[in-house]
Amino acid sequence: MNWNLSNKTALVCGSTSGIGKAIAQAFATSGASVILMARNEEKLRETLDALPTGSGQIHQMIKADFSQPQAPKKALDQWLQSNPNEHIDILVNNTGGPPPGPAHLAKVEEYLNAFNTHLINNHELVQCCLPGMKANGGGRIINVISTSVKIPLNGLGVSNTVRGAVGNWAKTLANELGAFNITVNNILPGATATDRLKGIIDKKSEKSGESKEIVTEKMLSEIPMKRFAEPEEVAAAAGFLASEAASYINGINIPVDGGRTGNL
């Protein structure tokens, strides 16, 4: 099985912490040249400096704020113009999740922001990458979404709604782009030990009055494997999807959730 990503260039969004950072590290370990994209220059620099370069590859970073309309697209367009001989082979769409809260209390702006941050940015980045992928005989588009595309999660109203849209957008793209040897797949992380999860536990504890330990115990009790995922375990699924080993896998969701999602 070939998991090697040498001579591939991967753009990994939201890659200064959590799942995105672990994906960037996994790709670099497999030989890819990684382009990090996130909003904080210092964290970008730190992450960049720590990426493995064992295959002699060069990694780069692009600063862009996903909450600003068109910012990721503009930043990538600029990078592609400055590097006319480069293209993106692997695009990982990922950024911070929408704030938690019930769907019926969410403001219209929260839905619009989340839709722009997640779906529109993903879409614009795909459009930037497609000409290069087509010209080079193929590509991989991997979207980090959530298990909520299968079963909505309580207290994540805006996220559940927007994840569903991203899932259906991705499946439609898979139908359209397979003919170009471009695969489009989604990773659905379960509860993963990152800053995002800490924020969700804090919020649940604040709202319920229960201690963080009790909230954590309750979350763990719903997971057959009785533990949270490490970001590297989620990244392994991305490494597989990006590789030659996954050449005929297209248009699917891969839950990495320790078995938590109660359907197939």
Ligand X SMILES: NC(=O)c1ccc[n+]([C@@H]2O[C@H](COP(=O)([O-])OP(=O)(O)OC[C@H]3O[C@@H](n4cnc5c(N)ncnc54)[C@H](OP(=O)(O)O)[C@@H]3O)[C@@H](O)[C@H]2O)c1
Closer residue to ligand X, CB minimum distance, 136 or 168: 168
What is the b/e burial string over 131-160, where b = at least 16 CB atoms within 10 angstroms of the residue's CB?
Answer: ebbeeeeebbbbbbbbbbbbebbeebbbbb
Work out how close the CB of 46 gets to ligand X at its nearest, in angstroms, rounded to a whole number: 10
The percent helix, strand, coil of the chain (3-state, each to 5) is 50, 15, 35
Work out how close the CB of 248 gets to ligand X at its nearest, in angstroms, rounded to a whole number: 26
Closer residue to ligand X, CB minimum distance, 65 or 233: 65
Work out how close the CB of 103 gets to ligand X at its nearest, in angstroms, rounded to a whole number: 16
Closer residue to ligand X, CB minimum distance, 25 or 95: 95
Angstrom distance (rounded) from CA 176 to CA 70? 24
Contacts of 221 (CB under 8 A, 6+ apart): none
Alpha helix locations (H) across the chain? 18-29, 41-50, 71-82, 108-114, 121-135, 157-177, 195-208, 212-221, 231-242
Work out how close the CB of 56 gets to ligand X at its nearest, in angstroms, rounded to a whole number: 26
- The residues binding ligand X (CB under 6 A) are 14-20, 38-40, 43, 65-67, 94-97, 144, 146, 189, 191-192, 194-197
Closer residue to ligand X, CB minimum distance, 192 or 243: 192
Closer residue to ligand X, CB minimum distance, 219 or 245: 219
Work out how close the CB of 118 gets to ligand X at its nearest, in angstroms, rounded to a whole number: 7
Cβ contact 70:124 at 8 Å: yes
